[in-house]
Structures are given as C-alpha cells and as structure tokens.
Amino acid sequence: AAFKEVFSLGTVEVMVYNVAPPFPPGHEFPNLPAGHEIDPKFFDSAFNIGVTGCLRCNSQVVPKMIEQGKGTILLSGATASLRGGKKFGSVAPVKAALRSYGQTLFQELAPLGVHVGHVIIDGVIESPNTQGWGSNVPLMDPAHIAEQYWNLHSQPRTVWSYEVQISPSAGSVGHRL
C-alpha cells in the first residue's frame, strides 16, 4: 500500500534504505549483549527489518528503475558492516548481510543503469539521543552525511562507486572496534 502511494507521486529515482533494527529488548548502546546471549528470535526480527525489508522495497522499485534505464539505491551501513566487535554480535551480522546483498545488487543492476551504493557511516550521528555524549565522541552532522549520499547518487556512470566510508576527522567509535 505504501508503494502505491509513492508511485502515485511519480517515478522513484532514488531509494535510500536507511534502516536498522532496534537493539535487543532490555539493551541499549553501548550495553549490548554478548554474542552468546542473543536470543535467536531477535535475529529473526533483526534480519527481517535490516535485510529482508530491503528486498521487499527493491522488489517494488527495481523493475521500474530497470524499465527507466536509471535509478539509484543507497544502503546505509555502519562500521559493523565491515567487521564484528565486542558486544556488536546483535548488530554486525545484519549490517554485513545488507552489505553483501548490496554487492550482489550492484553487480546485477549496474549494467542495467541502476546504481547501487553502500554508505558506511563510521561514527555516531548527531541527534537528540546523542547530544548528551558531549565531547567524548565526535558527532557526525546529518546534513553532511546527506551530502555524501547525494554525491554518491550524482556520480557519472563511468565512475560509479559501490561503497563509501565516511568518518569524522577526529576518529570514530568504529576505529576502536
């Protein structure tokens, strides 16, 4: 039903899949459960949100993008897309799977005119929830992140990037994983 409304507005030129499952019940960052403490039911839900949800969105937009011979799909990743880390067992597998799925899409869709990109956000995004972190952690400006998504979308077809990693200049939480 949601995509019916979207398509009533016109064609989809860009789809940004900026989704992350919530942390396991009873946990919040940075106090995440150890890998062996994760409830398998959580993974079912997390993968449904973080990866299968992307598949559901793509099943709606990709055929139309192929028909148009153009389009961009941008996937939001994280440091955990690249590697696991202590207490990141509930996050890293989902982000790694999304990255891998995106690599497959890039190989399949680029020859058809659809650019797929994965943005590794290697840091903490400034938001009302992170304001209290103060100067302990360099925060990333959401407007600056959005500019990088736009830059990826705007690349000429002859030099498409699949993946871009953005990090604050002062280093990030991810560098310590």
**Residue 35, helix vs strand vs coil:** helix
Instruction: For residue 14, list its beta bridge partners.
Output: 72
Domains of the chain, by residue range, sit at: 7-24+33-176
d(CA 23, CA 78): 14
Q: State phi, psi for 124 to the nearest 5 degrees.
A: -105, 130
**What pLDDT shows up at residue 177?**
47
Angle between helices 40-47 and 92-109 (to 10 degrees): 30
**CA-wise closest residue to 43 among 62, 22, 14:** 22
Vertex 71, ends 66 and 73: CA angle to 5°?
110
Q: For the domain 7-24+33-176, what is the CATH code? A: 3.40.50.720
- Note the pLDDT of residue 134: 64
Residues 6+ apart with CB under 8 A from 29: 23
Amino acid at 152: L
> What whole-number distance in Å separates Cα of residue 73 and Cα of residue 145?
16
* Residue 82: predicted pLDDT: 94
Looking at residue 169, what is its pLDDT?
A: 84
Reading the chain (177 residues) residue by residue, the pLDDT tens digits are 789 999 999 999 999 999 988 888 888 877 899 999 999 999 999 999 999 999 999 999 999 999 999 999 999 999 999 999 888 899 999 999 999 999 999 999 999 999 999 999 998 899 888 877 766 778 899 999 999 999 999 999 999 999 999 998 876 655 554
Please state the pTM of the whole predicted model. 0.91
Give the pLDDT confidence score for residue 29 in this predicted structure: 77
